[in-house]
């Protein structure tokens, strides 16, 4: 008991008041003679990855992230893209894996959630997007919100990445929200998904045969993602990170662990899987799939896959 009290007091002396409540259950129901003083967290001089203080670093390493971001930064425009990500989420990720002068790339930029997040974090970021429509929306958002436009490249990410490899371009961090899968047949809804204030039929985002959403099978999709990973590995600096946000799927009465399959392909091209964070955005729509006959999951989370080039 005495050892447990001593350990708890030591832990509580190195955390912020906000985090202290998480450790209260460890404290036995006894009166401590000395007043616990919470020390302010500091930035470690040997931190070569980011500018975060110790408590901020610790918070990010939790494997579950639940958010409820306000609909800001042109959300009314960006929501037309069914897979748009909150810029605040991308800022949160970017600030952990980069420093101020680091350069970032998003190979599947969409309506620019990563680029906006980089702007919020004060980082330089480039994006690649195959659909000109989404690029135009990004620029509209920047103009309306008075945000300096980051570089948005129109083209197929495989072709653009190959050019970057030829030009020997290097990045400090690559983060992206790729197509989760091929365009699956929608068998358990009315044709329109209402998810987190986004209305979309989730059909292929473009007519191009180069769009990964327009591939015919999951194996083709996994192979294409493996090619993307191989090129990303070549343009990413050593000991830097590659992060993907992917949602799993359910089709033909079977759960499809797309995030696991993509992570496995990334390991095959040289990346090391360092971890997976489960992201849950509060307010995700629930549907009575399978009721009252069989279990069918409501996939309301997404997987943040964290890979490192070592």
Of 73-77, 81-85, 90-94, where does mean pLDDT reach its minimum?
81-85
Mean pLDDT computed over 92-109: 98
Does the pTM of the predicted model rise above 0.85? no
Q: Compute φ and ψ for 45, nearest 5 degrees.
A: -65, -20
- Of the candidates 133, 136, 116, 134, the residue with the CA atom closest to the CA atom of residue 125: 116
Which H or E element spans position 138?
A: helix 132-145
- Going by their DSSP bridges, the two strands 103-106 and 171-176 should be labelled as parallel
pLDDT, one tens digit per residue, over 133-181 is: 999 999 999 999 999 999 999 999 999 999 999 999 999 999 999 986 5
Mean pLDDT computed over 173-196: 64
Residue 267 and residue 274: Cα distance in Å, rounded? 10
Architecture per CATH, domain 44-309, reads as 3-Layer(aba) Sandwich (3.40)
Beta-bridged to residue 244, according to DSSP, are 176, 305
% of the chain exceeding 90 in pLDDT: 68
Q: Residue 217: pLDDT band by 50, 70, 90 thresholds?
A: confident
Could you state, in order of their start, the residue ranges of all structural domains in the chain? 1-40, 44-309
Sign of CA dihedral 58, 64, 70, 74: positive
Tokens 């069918």, residue located: 296
Query: Which pLDDT score is estimated for 39?
Result: 67
Burial (Cβ within 10 Å: 0-12, 13-18, ≥19) of residue 226? middle
């Amino acid at each position: 008991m005495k050892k447990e009290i001593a350990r708890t007091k030591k832990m509580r002396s190195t955390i912020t008041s906000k985090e202290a409540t998480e450790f209260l259950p460890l404290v036995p129901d006894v009166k401590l003679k000395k007043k616990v003083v919470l020390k302010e967290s500091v930035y470690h001089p040997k931190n070569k990855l980011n500018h975060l203080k110790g408590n901020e670093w610790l918070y990010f390493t939790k494997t579950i992230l639940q958010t409820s971001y306000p609909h800001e930064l042109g959300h009314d425009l960006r929501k037309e893209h069914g897979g748009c990500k909150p810029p605040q989420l991308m800022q949160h990720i970017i600030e952990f894996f980069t420093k101020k002068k680091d350069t970032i790339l998003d190979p599947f930029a969409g309506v620019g959630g990563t680029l906006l997040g980089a702007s919020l974090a004060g980082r330089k970021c480039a994006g690649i997007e195959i659909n000109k429509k989404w690029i135009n929306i990004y620029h509209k958002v920047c103009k309306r919100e008075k945000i300096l436009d980051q570089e948005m490249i129109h083209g197929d990410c495989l072709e653009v990445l190959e050019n970057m490899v030829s030009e020997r371009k290097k990045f400090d961090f690559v983060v992206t929200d790729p197509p989760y899968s091929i365009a699956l047949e929608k068998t358990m809804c009315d044709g329109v998904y209402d998810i987190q204030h986004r209305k979309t039929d989730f059909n292929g985002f473009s007519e191009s045969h180069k769009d990964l959403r327009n591939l015919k099978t999951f194996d083709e999709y996994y192979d294409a993602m493996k090619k993307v990973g191989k090129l990303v590995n070549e343009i990413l600096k050593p000991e830097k990170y590659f992060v993907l946000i992917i949602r799993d799927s359910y089709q033909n009465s079977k759960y499809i662990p797309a995030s696991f399959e993509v992570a496995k392909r990334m390991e095959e091209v040289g990346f090391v899987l360092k971890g997976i964070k489960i992201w849950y955005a509060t307010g995700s729509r629930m549907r009575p799939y399978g009721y009252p006959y069989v279990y069918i999951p409501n996939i309301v989370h997404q997987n943040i896959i964290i890979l490192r080039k070592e």
